[in-house]
């Protein structure tokens, strides 16, 4: 086998890996955006039917969302864009897990949905940016193990 053939084979694997990662991360982000919208709609319907529930439930859910981030995963706070930029720079590989680990992503997901359900103004783009970046890292790592070994 010639070196040229090996290089070409690796390029094909890379293209397939990037297309696969893009497709899977797109599907997961669409699922999150759908859940996000459904949560908004459910909260509006619930609070319109029972305004008193709004006074009781909103502060409690906001507090739970805040404490969840504060206690479980402080790396889940904020938009996540600065953390992703730091992780992309590869100067701080040790920070990757504290900014983009599974605990951080699950905390970010649940706390943002609790926040939306409580009526907080949360944009879905920044959490999606963080999810997408972590998904790309996980999927490329997995595909490298499968395709190149």
Q: Which residue has the tokens 């999150």?
A: 32
pLDDT at 76: 74
pLDDT at 63: 92
pLDDT, mean of each 10-residue run, the chain (149 residues)? 52 75 82 87 87 85 89 76 69 63 81 84 74 74 68
In contact, 110 and 68? CB cutoff 8 Å: yes
């Amino acid at each position: 086998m010639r070196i040229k053939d090996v290089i070409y084979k690796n390029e094909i694997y890379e293209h397939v890996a990037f297309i696969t990662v893009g497709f899977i991360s797109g599907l997961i982000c669409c699922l999150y955006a759908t859940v996000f919208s459904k949560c908004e709609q459910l909260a509006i319907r619930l609070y319109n039917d029972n305004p008193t529930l709004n006074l009781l439930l909103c502060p409690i859910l906001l507090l739970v969302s805040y404490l969840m981030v504060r206690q479980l995963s402080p790396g889940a706070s904020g938009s996540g864009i600065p953390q992703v930029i730091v992780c992309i720079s590869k100067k701080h590989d040790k920070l990757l897990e504290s900014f983009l680990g599974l605990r951080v992503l699950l905390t970010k997901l649940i706390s943002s949905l609790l926040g939306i359900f409580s009526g907080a103004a949360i944009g879905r783009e920044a959490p999606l940016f963080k999810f997408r970046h972590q998904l790309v890292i996980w999927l490329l790592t997995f595909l490298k193990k499968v395709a190149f070994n």
